[in-house]
Structure 1
Amino acid sequence: MTAPTLTTTTTKEPGRTPAPDTGGKPGRGAFTHALRRNLTAHGFLIGAVLCFAFFSWYPMVREFVLAFQKTEDGRTTWAGWSNFTTVFNDPAIWQAWRNTLLFTLLALLLGFVVPFVVAIVINEFRQGQGYLRLLVYLPVMLPPVASVLLFKYLYDPGYGLLNEVFRLLHLPEQQWLQDPDLSLLSVVVASTWMNMGGAALIYLAALQGIPGELYEAAELDGAGLLRKIWHVTIPQTRLILLLMLLMQIIATMQVFVEPFLLTGGAGPEGSTTTVVYLIYQYAFNFNNYGAAAALGLVLLVLLAGFSAAYAKFSRTDEE
């Protein structure tokens, strides 16, 4: 009979060599094995970071530098705040900001509310939701130029489909893109149709995550459709609604493609001139890259302010 000991003996398994004692430190072989195992993942990650740095971070840094420089006769000199002075002394800047803010407001009234309503309607269907989702998302899959050309045909004052419908209804025909009072609204309608599919699907995913017991409890309390939407649907999707509101504000304040292709950018009497189109004019029509970068930096600071306000509001709401 042997006495018990404080040390444990290691039983050597047949055919297996015990691992060498490294003093509690990971061996070089283990590190090499881990590196080799994750080499592919690290390669993809490094490639993504390099692409993001080259196409996103570098242009932002370059824009910041250009905003304080001026190039004349091939020579680049530091201009201080003169580019910002040039931008804010331009009479077109205030009209561009007014049009941009008005476009954002109208786009939110349509592009923020309509996709949410569409998602609620689709969510009520028990069959055929896949076809409805495809139908709603189809405009997003179309190339923007094709969608804009489609609306340019619809808005044509001579043979456009909208004016044909107005003739059948004995209503006065409209100059949709030629009238300063209608051109911006026409661009908003086209932009909403082109971009609402993605927002509608995000809202639909949020709606399908709401527990059905909440609606059943609301029905037992005698709540109708509107009260269920107000007291159940909106509170349960509040964070998604706020996030989409921020994303749509950022997107609509950078609108360029729709007014550029539908009205040539400026539109009748400058009614569709936006801030991004004015940046385009400074850079490619006036060859004033410093003023374009300065105006772009102002827009960046404004949108960053919206993002910071959203982050603070969402953090306060969670607490």
Structure 2
Amino acid sequence: MATINVSRARARGLPGAGRPPGPERRSASLSRRVRRNVSGYFFLAGAIICFALWSWYPMIHEILLSFQHLNLVGQSEGWGGWRNYEHMLNDPGFWTSVRVTLVFTGLALVFGYAVPFLLAVGLNEFRHASWYFRLLVYLPVMLPPVAAAFLWSKWFYAPDNSGLFNSVLHDLHLPTSTWLQSPNNTFVILCMVIFSTWSNMGSGVLIYMAALQGIPGELYEAAELDGAGIAKRVWHVTIPQTRLILSLMLLLQVVATMQTFTESLVLTNGANGTGTLVYLLYQDATNFNNFGGSAAIGTVLLVVLGVFSGAYLWLSRRGEE
């Protein structure tokens, strides 16, 4: 086709016919594209600057600090090599924090990931006053996290009968619990996960409900005609149709729960071996002035989450192919 067009151009005697576009024409075309998209480049530059100042620069600075020897006021006294990482790996508190973080993340995948989706499926069935239930579910997200944690620790998780949970158990003639003061470390972490699920599930529920609204109703009607119950409709229709959102929310769930901090700080203050990695990072920097060790913990967490995110996205793309 290109040969035919060139031949026609030659036959008509058009200037420059048959010659490839020169540097002048390419430069003019490029300048036109730049002028046409200058507003887009302007907004893109603003986003890049914001990411560079508040995301990329802190990450690079943290990595550099993890290889330096810092004094008590955080000033560098020279390169320390891998010494901060050696001290971190030899610290028993680090491995305790790793275990707490992994247990918290695993329990959060059971509750914090599944409960919002199931709740969204249930709320999606309401035809009347659905806005009221959406607002009710989203209300905890609007509370300041520290204030919400204090509310749960003083009112819900109070170890005596003044706490809401113990009051209900007492009225039902069931044994009460010390909750956050329990000697069972895993049970305390579960209490932290329950609070985290309650305080953060509102955003997930709204995202899932928005995804559910995009599922064609004909699929549910066909499933009902085939005699499928609620469980089968969710398994064969809802989950496949929302697979992309579920995959994205799983990634965000793991990344968020691996960085949990408020629960350890406010609910337990790290007692009974309930401090997470971010809590240990905070303690090293504020209480012990170990800024290099704190930066090393942050760098390890950054690398682990980066590798996990990259591997998860790669596997998701291969699964879609």
Same fold (TM > 0.5): yes
Which residue is equivalent to 1:277? 279
Tell me what 2:241 maps to. Answer: 236
Q: Specify the alignment match of 2:224 in structure 1.
A: 219
Corresponding residue number in structure 2 for 1:16 = none
Distance 1:214 1:25, change over 3 A: closer
Paired position in structure 1 for 2:80: 79
SS at match of 2:179: coil
Give % identity: 54
Q: CA deviation at 1:60?
A: 0.4
> Of 210, 217, 220, which residue of structure 2 is paired with 1:205?
210
TM-superposed CA distance for 1:119, in Å, is 0.4
User: Which structure has the larger Rg over C-alpha atoms?
Assistant: 1
Measured in 2, the distance between the counterparts of 1:89 and 1:210 equals: 52
Distance 1:261 1:118 in 2: 27
TM-superposed CA distance for 1:24, in Å, is: 6.5
User: 1:133 aligns to what?
Assistant: 134
Matched position secondary structure for 2:69: strand
Q: 1:299 is matched with which residue: 298, 301, 312?
A: 301
CA RMSD of aligned residues (A): 2.4
How do 1:8-87 and structure 2 match up within 5 A?
Answer: 34=35, 38=38, 44-72=43-71, 74-87=75-88
Measure the CA separation in 2 of the matches of 1:75 and 1:34. Answer: 46
After superposition, what is the alpha-carbon deviation per residue over 1:240-289, rounded to whole angstroms, capped at 9, x for unaligned? Answer: 1111011000000100012201111x12x21x111111111111111111
2:256 match: 251
Amino acid at match of 1:172: P
Match of 1:18 in 2: none
Name the SS of the counterpart of 1:70 in structure 2.
strand
Query: Secondary structure of 2:294's partner?
Result: helix
Deviation at 1:140, TM superposition (A): 0.6
CA distance in 2, matches of 1:121, 1:171: 30
1:230 partner letter: W
Change (3 A) 1:24 1:139: same
Q: Structure 1: which amino acid aligns with 2:168? A: V
The residue type paired with residue 84 of structure 1 is: Y
Partner Cα separation in structure 2 for residue 223 and residue 71 of structure 1: 64
What is the deviation of 1:44? 4.6
Higher helix share: 2
- Once residues 285 and 128 of structure 1 are traced to their aligned partners in structure 2, the CA distance between those partners, rounded to angstroms, is 50
Report if the CA contact (8 A) 2:68-2:76 is conserved.
Answer: no
Classify 1:81/1:209 alpha carbon distance in 2 versus 1 (closer, same or farther; 3 Å).
same
Q: Could you tell me how far 1:45 is from its partner in structure 2?
A: 4.0
Match of 2:143 in 1: 142
Structure 1 match to 2:118: 117
Aligned residues: 294
C-alpha separation in 2, matches of 1:276 and 1:243:
23
Letter in 1 for 2:195: A
Q: Which amino acid aligns with 1:223?
A: A
Q: CA deviation at 1:143?
A: 1.1
Matched position secondary structure for 2:119: helix
Give the whole-Å Cα distance in 1 for the aligned partners of 2:263 and 2:135. Answer: 23
Identify the residue that residue 161 of structure 1 maps to in structure 2. 164
Corresponding residue SS for 1:77: strand
TM superposition score normalised by structure 1: 0.85
The separation in 2 between residues aligned to 1:75 and 1:66, in whole angstroms, is 8
Given residue 280 of structure 1, which amino acid in structure 2 is its aligned partner? Y
- Separation in structure 1 between the aligned mates of residue 89 and residue 307 of structure 2, nearest angstrom: 20
